[in-house]
Amino acid sequence: MPESIHLPRIRSAQEALREIQQADPNTALKLYHLQRLMKSGTVPTLRAGNRLFVNLDMLIEYIATHPDLDLTDEHTVDGIRAISE
């Protein structure tokens, strides 16, 4: 009998966010945050042409093991916070 194969759950940022929202409807996580994590290389990604994908399980593990993850929309440069005009 062949062993079962575990396939990684590869998702786009939008698909990953949709699944996270299904598991936690009150999540504060936004599409912008996922895209930032993916583009910065903080979480491993796969590229297919111009499209970027993430392993959903690795993303969830990263978020769960990094409680100090900063998801604010404020950007700081050398301690200076950008203000809206």
pLDDT tens profile 51-70: 999 999 999 999 999 878 76
pLDDT of residue 33: 92
pLDDT of residue 58: 95
Terminal C-alpha separation, the chain: 65
How many residues are recorded in the chain? Answer: 85
Give the pTM: 0.74
Confidence of residue 6 (pLDDT cuts 50, 70, 90): confident
